[in-house]
Structure 1
Amino acid sequence: MNDQPSDRPHEFEVRARHTESTVTVYQAYRPEIGRAAARDGRFPPSWSRERMTWIKPSFLWMMYRCGWGTKKDQETVLAVEISREGFVRALRDACLSHYVPALHGDPDAWKRKLRQAPARVQWDPERDLRLNPLPYRSLQLGLAGEASARYADEWIVGIEDVTGLATEIHALVREGESDRAARLLPEERTCPLDDGVLAHLRA
């Protein structure tokens, strides 16, 4: 089976599970934080607003990052539904995490912007069901300061514990049941964004 989506995306675009008003992103935490967040629909007091938090619209990239929920302190996988308005705001305010001469010109100016920006973006290779890299990119969005606080306190619509789904898909992949595993994946489609939202973030 080909583990890639049937329609190959452009190299830099946002693919996500989304509605007209929300975008779903993924994170993984230790159980004390992850289970409390899923239970209460918001992060517990032990969740730090002072640290940068990375959100990922790609389920499979999250699986690559957390090892299907097996890595230490990443055992609980969360699907966090956030407002599209908040997601777009973070992208508009973000800075690329690495310097691109054609986009940034002066490297010192880019460094200043990176320090000041409340959000930053990385584009990493998307992953297939076996977590091998694909020839197009997946967005990673880091939130800090004001953006991190708004994410936790204003943008979240709902939080679901999807650790069981991750475990089930992983088991099917290991058993060679790729077709069945693929059918369980969250449906991630190109997320329509206004012109200019990503223009300053395409490496």
Structure 2
Amino acid sequence: MTSLYEIRADHDERTVVVYQAYAPALADAALRAGRFVPPFSFGRMTWIKPSFLWLMHRSNWARKPGQERVLAVRMTREGWEEALARAVPTAGDPEALARAAVHVQWDPERSPRGAALNHYSIQVGIGRELVRTFADDWVTGLTDLTPTVRRAAELLRTGRAAEARRLFPPERVYPLSPELERRLRAGRAA
């Protein structure tokens, strides 16, 4: 049974995968370099999402302008957990949020067709103070998922949801320390 609030992600002993959608020029430059480089902005917050389906909803399966390319961003668990430890909930104290290096929010998880589900998915905003650390130290690899996303979207469009699901990245509960669990509890939706 799915808990109302839990982080579900593709992860192994050392890394966790988060997803981002970008314009083609940014995605191409990052993939060529094997890391984030301009036109990626190191001067603004970047939001990372461990839920593949939430990003599919947000990017309209890589069809939204400026979000036509989907990258799987593999990052260290140490970096992921440092970000979570520094996170301030977007629904919390506005003054604390304004000073925070990392923002966190919980939004309804999505079905493959975009319907809101009755459990939540976490999103983490890495602020400009940590964007370089994220890009240079925490990210261990970038994978272009765009062809897979387009194939899955076409399968869904033609009524072949079971085939589409086989293309989705595997996600399972990400274990949190009791300390991190308490910290993130404050950022949960009503």
TM tier relative to shorter chain: over 0.9
Question: In 2, distance between residues paired with 1:169 and 1:46?
Answer: 28
* AA of the residue aligned to 2:7: V
1:187 aligns with 2:156: no
With the length of structure 1 as denominator, give the TM-score of the two structures: 0.89
Contact residue 25 and residue 56 of structure 1 kept, 8 A: yes
1:165 corresponds in structure 2 to 148
Contact residue 83 and residue 156 of structure 1 kept, 8 A: yes
Kindly provide the CA deviation profile for residues 170-203 of structure 1, in whole angstroms up to 9, marking residues without a partner as x. Answer: 0000111011111111000001121111312222
Q: Give matches, 1:1-203, under 5 Å.
A: 8-99=1-92, 110-202=93-185, 203=188
Question: In 1, distance between residues paired with 2:145 and 2:5?
Answer: 26
| Displacement over 3 Å in runs of 4+ | none
1:103 corresponds in structure 2 to none
Unpaired runs of 5+ residues, structure 2, are none
Question: In 1, distance between residues paired with 2:144 and 2:28?
Answer: 7
With the length of structure 2 as denominator, give the TM-score of the two structures: 0.95
SS in 2 for 1:181: helix
Contact residue 95 and residue 121 of structure 1 kept, 8 A: yes
Structure possessing the higher radius of gyration over alpha carbons: 1
1:107 corresponds in structure 2 to none
Question: In 2, distance between residues paired with 1:122 and 1:148?
Answer: 18
Unpaired runs of 5+ residues, structure 1, are 1-7, 100-109
Figure out how many residues of one structure are paired with residues of the other and give that number: 186
